[in-house]
A and B are shown apart, each in its own frame.
Chain A
């Protein structure tokens, strides 16, 4: 049995030096759904970019 995974290709880096263009790009965020955002962050946790420890202690 084979398993296939679909992985999005990594975006190709674009150098942006115009602050206004950078601001426009920032203003367009986010570009993903809530579920995709959550999955993506949890992948970051798995990859060690974040630690998930305990509860957040926020009410």
Chain B
């Protein structure tokens, strides 16, 4: 695998910090640059075995775990493929203290957010189904995990703050957590019928 390029572009102006990112606006104002915070690469959906003391049985549920740097990069490539936003992996840079930061960039889409009903309509229209809260291990995951069985794409953190409503009324996901569930990898979710692949035009 090729090494990540060193990002030595203009970092623009520091605008905000949120989640796992420090956010800068590019000098021309056209793109948002996101730099990872130390040791923070977002989260992945995974599965966890929980012991149910009432029934004395183990139950497998979906959970969040901290993502690896490679999973962080993969997330943006899948987001771009599934939803179309031209997210670029710019490379890696160093902070003042010498620690590394991964850098991605996205076009600036605006700050108007859709509401819950609009998100539900958009994701349902794209073939996603809301995952039953009974399958989730943490209440903060309730109502924000969506799964598309066709290609095994699972998205998390589907809060309004992670989408934008652009000037034409289109909903554009800008900061979703996106994973692929390979067939047979989940004990909880039904297997994909047309597994996700970057070269698959139907994904």
Q: A49-B161, A50-B17 are in contact. Are A27 and B86 (CB under 8 A)?
A: yes
Known: A15-B122, A25-B166, A50-B23. A42 touches B15 (CB 8 A): yes
A24 to B109, CA, bound (A): 13
A15 to B6: give the CA distance in the assembly, Å.
39
**Once bound together, how far apart are the Cα atoms of A56 and B34, in whole Å?**
11
Q: Chain B, 16-52, contact with A by CB distance < 8 Å: what is the 0/1 string?
A: 1110001111001111100100000000000000000
Counting chain A residues whose Cβ lies within 8 A of the other chain, the interface size class is 35 or more
- Determine whether the beta carbon of B15 is less than 8 Å from that of A55: no
Which of A11, A42, A43, A51 is the one whose CB lies under 8 Å from B18?
A: A51
Q: Which residues of B contact A41 (CB under 8 A)?
A: 15-16, 23, 25, 32, 108, 111
A26:B168 contact, CB within 8 angstroms = no
For chain B, which range describes its interface: under 10, 10 to 19, 20 to 34, or 35 or more residues? 35 or more
Asked whether B126 lies within 8 Å of A44 as measured between CB atoms, the reply is no
Residues of B within 8 A of A3 (CB): none
Chain A's closest residue to B121 (CB) is A15
Closest to A22 in B: B84
Task: Assess A56 versus B166: contact at CB under 8 Å? Given A13-B118, A26-B86, A29-B109.
Answer: no
A32 → chain B closest CB, angstroms:
6
- B residues near A (Cβ < 8 Å) are 11, 13-18, 22-25, 28-32, 35, 82-86, 93-97, 101, 107-114, 118, 121-122, 125-126, 161, 165-172
